[in-house]
Amino acid sequence: MVNKNFWGQTLSVDMSHCDMKKFSKSSLAKFCKELCHKIKMEREGSAIVKRFGEGNLLGNSAVQFIKTSSITIHADEVYNRIFIDVFSCKKFDKNVARDFCKNYFAAKKVKSRNYYRV
């Protein structure tokens, strides 16, 4: 149950054994756009996708600002994992978001946690 001091909802999705072709800059930008549509969030501009890091930490990361906060993504190309956080002051369907993430990246393993910020 969400209390009256609800500030926001956070969904963290950790996935592995994914389709690594989906870790590209263009695919991450497309994912952000489609996820926002699925969970009925209004985007603030286009996703920012950058490649940085070195060694085992090299990979693409993305941030999509939304009217009610943000979505962040970090792709781990070395171990074939991706980490997604959705934070919004507007409630969203955690199951729709989690299932879309799993299907988009064709993840074989998914772990998620949803919690409310107060």
DSSP labels, 42-78: -BSSPPEEEEE--GGG-EEEEEEEETTEEEEEEEETT
Model pLDDT, residue 94: 99
- CATH number of this structure's domain 8-117: 3.60.90.10
Residues 17-65 have pLDDT tens digits of 999 999 999 999 999 999 999 999 999 999 999 999 888 899 999 999 9
Rounded to 5°, angle at Cα 15 from 14 and 21: 130
Quick one: angle between helices 94-105 and 25-38, nearest 10?
150
